[in-house]
Structure 1
Amino acid sequence: MAEIVIKQERPLVEELLGRYKGVIGKDFPGYRNHVYRTITYAMYFLDNDAAVEKLVETAFVYHDIGLWTDHELAYLEPSEAVALADNEKYGWGLDPDALRGAIHWHHKITPYTGPHARVIEACRKADWIDASMGTVHKGLSKATIREVEAAFPNFGFHKTLLRLAKDYGGSTLVGGIKVTRGIVKW
């Protein structure tokens, strides 16, 4: 396995996220850093393979975007739709099945073994690390996770998720149930 590589600047991520900065609003710094952390972890699991970096960067820019674009707690399908529409609109040429899969399966509890498994599984593990704030570490050392978190501070991202669950669900409990039912996959 390669060393963790922390890239402070990812021009593609900045370009893609920049299109949604106004929609994401005050939550932008937290979401941006969540995107950077997850890309960093996924690329580690992919041995920093440059051939899949554009796909991973794009998938993570869009993976939770439906929370803001569609105000949905079951945000996987809305996030997929925005990513696929932009892939077509801007002519990126990314494999739509791989892009959709990386977004759709990123909350899967068990390992993903279907088409595009290498990239999708790396993205799944990366998001679990960050969503759990390192409690689930998927083989990464706590020191490595702390290093990535120090490079890309949380800026209240996890509190944002709780706030959105309450705002969209009517209460944190009801929103949490809606989120769980809408995004967790087996």
Structure 2
Amino acid sequence: MNKELITQLPRVEQLFDQYAERFGKQQTAYRNHVYRLVNLVMAQRPVNDEELGKLQVAAFFHDAGIWLAGTFDYLQPSARLAEHYLQEEGLEDWSQDVRTMIMNHHKISRFSRNHLDLTEVFRRADWVDVSLGLLRFGIPMARIRLIKRGFPNAGFHPLLLKLSGQQLLSQPWRPLPMLKR
């Protein structure tokens, strides 16, 4: 596992630059979440260059539909945005893997029995971050603390609570539409 924190990813930075206006004052909160997610993946297993490319795209777009499509039911919109980006970049062959990571990152149960499957690792990384480290999936707490210090919350979790509350009030029959079994 990579001991150094990954603090700069060119593709992620380019995407945040491209969409800066859409994220507004919440950009730091989401950027830090994206970097925590990538580092939590790397805390579980090494990735090769192609996997790191796919991971950057999936990490940036996985929740981006909240801001870029204006919805809390954001899995499909986020996946479509990622696929459009990959098409523009000539990386269509990554589409299935990136889509699978995005569509399954809120899956409650395992995606794969293979604990090293990139989608499964990505799913666990998001749960570790969203649970504030209560769920760890074998990642040492010291590593989680290091990642959280490197990329502070910056209001991300309160934002999730606020959005969840708004969703509950507007559609109580679908309180968390992005969760999957």
Give the TM-score normalised by structure 2. Answer: 0.90
Amino acid at match of 1:53: L
CA contact (8 A) 2:44 2:139 kept: no
Amino acid at match of 2:96: D
The count of residues paired between Structure 1 and Structure 2 equals 180
**Tell me, which stretches of 5 or more residues in structure 1 are unaligned?**
none
Secondary structure of the structure 2 residue equivalent to 1:178: coil
In the alignment, the residues of structure 2 paired with residue 163 and residue 179 of structure 1 have an alpha-carbon distance, to the nearest angstrom, of 12
In the alignment, the residues of structure 1 paired with residue 162 and residue 94 of structure 2 have an alpha-carbon distance, to the nearest angstrom, of 34
Which residue in the other structure is 2:122 paired with? 123
CA 1:54/1:33 → structure 2, altered by over 3 Å: closer, same or farther? same
1:22-73, CA deviations, whole angstroms, 9 ceiling, x for partnerless residues? 1111110000000000011112323243331010111000000110112211
Which residue in the other structure is 1:178 paired with? 174
CA contact (8 A) 1:5 1:44 kept: no
Return the offset for 1:178. Answer: 3.3
Which residue in the other structure is 1:68 paired with? 67
Amino acid at match of 1:67: I
Return the offset for 1:122. Answer: 1.0
Which residue in the other structure is 2:40 paired with? 41
Return the offset for 1:110. Answer: 1.2
Give the TM-score normalised by structure 1. Answer: 0.88
Return the offset for 1:175. Answer: 6.3
1:54-108, CA deviations, whole angstroms, 9 ceiling, x for partnerless residues? 1011100000011011221111001001110111122234421101000000011
CA contact (8 A) 1:41 1:126 kept: yes
1:138-163, CA deviations, whole angstroms, 9 ceiling, x for partnerless residues? 11111110000000111010111122
